[in-house]
Structure 1
Amino acid sequence: MHIAFLGLGNMGSAMVRNLVKNGHRVVAWNRSYEPTKPIHALGVAIERTPADACKDADIAITMLADDGAAEAVTLGKDGLIEGLAEGAVHVSMSTISVALSDKFTEAHAARGQLYAAAPVFGRPEAAEAQKLFIAAAGKPDAIAKITPALESVGQKIFVMGEEPAQANLVKLTGNFLITCVIESLAEAFALTAKGGIETQKVFELLTESLFSAPVYKTYGGLILEGKFSPPGFKMPLGQKDNRLLQQAAEKLEVPLPFAAIIRDRFLAARANGDSELDWSAIAKRAAEDAGFEVK
């Protein structure tokens, strides 16, 4: 399969390596030059514009930081929509807003192109190991076309519906649940530590009994060790996802009280100079509230 891949951050670069390893022909584009060098060394051609990268591609994958980047790369000057052939598929694997996903659906339909959303769950190490979980949504013909590529980067695909934005809503909801896990673990650790109990013992009991899911083990370990740098997922991106979640909830008239708590944790984290840390560093606030000195 001929794939155009746009966005070579930590996640995107890992995904490209797996696409190449699984026998796909990949052409790539990235806004900055430096990340393209190791990808080019794999035999991947690096094109000058998103439109150039998408010429003759069966599918175009975008893996970009936020709505602004995704919209510019897709609909802007020399954007992918200008180079993508009629009948080809754009699959956005970024965490973007429901509103922007709807906008992409309409724009591609007007040009006779297909569009699907397939955001991923997993940190960069999961992307490297081809262990991402993928929430996909789109018309059946679009899903069928992109499935071989998705299988090359992830361990399981969950099809959420025929409207691409449904996958984006699920992704935002999943990220919200992760932040709730981070916050609840941080509060539990602060409470038990204040009660004189070793946090390591609490972590072991929780993650080896009722809370043995990977999310508790991964983020509990990060909190326990204070391992917030280098970030697997930067604080501003987590804050952005919280904001997009609340926008979607407001439109659907669904109250999300916990999301407001997480919003304030992100604001406090950034106000305290933690913007360059992993998003799990919002856990520092619970310890501070309990009177612990946090480095």
Structure 2
Amino acid sequence: MNIAFFGLGAMGIPMVTNLLRAGYAVTVWNRTPKEGLDGAVWADTPAAALAGTDILITMLADDNANRAALLDSGALDTLKPGAVHINMATISVELAQELAARHRENGRYYLAAPVLGRPPVAQAGQLQILVAGDLPALERVRPVLEVLGQQIWYLGETPEQANATKLAVNFMIGSAIATMGEAAGLVEGYGVDKKLFIDLISSTVFAAPIYKGYGKSIAEDVYEPAGFKLSLGLKDIRLTLDAGGAVQAKMPLATTIRDLHDDSLAHNEGQLDWAALAKVFTR
């Protein structure tokens, strides 16, 4: 089973590494040439990477990167009939629908499979994988996904169901970061140590990975290196609002959180970790 993998960022590299360790033949392509990944075959173009491919996995940054690599390049048209495209990136519902339609027209299968987890989780092969699309196609590629993730959540037959779910989760993460930042600002106004407050909430009423992980960054004011950039968080919140608008779902809290992200970008904080959203309240 030949695999092509597009997108060798902080998530893509450990994912490919795990596939290689599991014995899969992997051809890789990245917009910016990189080195390493012993055992992988490097392709100069997206189309070259897809020659003879049974499974295409994409982990590209956003809609624009997906369009450039798959559609604008014409590479997607070279993927053979019967192949399965697993898109593990966080993209818009609209693009998911477009890609699914393109694959149907050409006798291929499309699975939306965005993931929950940061780079260390990807390295451990413990991602939570949210999948929607053709169920028989999922069963064909399940062994590959099991190399990458701890659990596979099948959400329905329509690919955008997985994308909407991932956006909903990321909206909740952004909400948690904003809540911690705002609450920490409140207690600091009364002379309570922010670090003590974050330790209190993350070990009691909010003893959950999101509060513990992002809370530690907020408590210590450490936002580099970024596990997930704040600019990407803004991208996801905007996509969430777009998805909500498409089904007439009112999301006033998401609108507020988008505005907080805009403030952060206005202060040149887009390259910092998503937890840096809390700096809005520090200011």
Q: Following TM superposition, by how much is the alpha carbon of 1:154 offset from its aligned partner in structure 2, in angstroms?
A: 1.1
Query: Normalized against structure 1, the TM-score is what?
Result: 0.93
**What amino acid maps onto 1:38 in structure 2?**
G
Tell me the SS of whatever aligns to 1:157. strand
Q: Give the drift of 1:149.
A: 1.4
Compute the displacement of 1:78 (Å). 3.9
Q: 2:41 aligns with which of 42, 45, 60?
A: 45
**Contact map agreement 1:50 1:83 (CA 8 A) in 2:** no
Q: Deviations over 1:1-24 (max 9, x none)?
A: 321001111111111001111121
Tell me how many residue pairs correspond in the alignment.
283
Cross-structure match for 1:74: 70
Moved over 6 A (4+): none
Superposition pairs of residues 2-21 of structure 1, within 5 angstroms:
2-21=2-21
1:54 aligns with 2:50: yes
Q: Which stretches in structure 2 are left out of the alignment for 5+ residues?
A: none
How far apart, CA to CA, are the structure 2 residues paired with 1:176 and 1:77? Answer: 31
Matched, 1:177 2:175: no
Of the three residues 190, 194, 205, the one matched with 1:195 is 190
Please give the per-residue CA displacement for 1:15-62, whole angstroms capped at 9, x wherever unaligned: 1001111121111111111x2x112xx110011221221222221000
| CA distance, structure 1, for counterparts of residue 73 and residue 61 of structure 2 | 18
Tell me if the contact between 2:46 and 2:73 (Cα under 8 Å) persists in the aligned partners.
no
- 1:1-295 matches, cutoff 5 A: 1-33=1-33, 35=34, 37-39=35-37, 42-79=38-75, 81-288=76-283
Q: CA separation in 1, counterparts of 2:183 and 2:126? A: 29
Residue identity over aligned pairs, in percent, reads 42
Distance in 2 of aligned mates of 1:99 and 1:115: 14
d(CA) in 2 for partners of 1:146, 1:170: 21
Alignment deviations for residues 178-232 of structure 1 (CA, whole Å, 9 cap, x no partner): 0000011111111112222222222222122121110110010011111111111
RMSD: 1.1
Gaps of 5+ in 1: 289-295
Report the alpha carbon displacement of residue 76 of structure 1 after superposing the two structures with TM. Answer: 2.1
Q: Please give the alpha-carbon distance, in whole angstroms, between the structure 2 residues aligned to 1:229 and 1:205.
A: 24
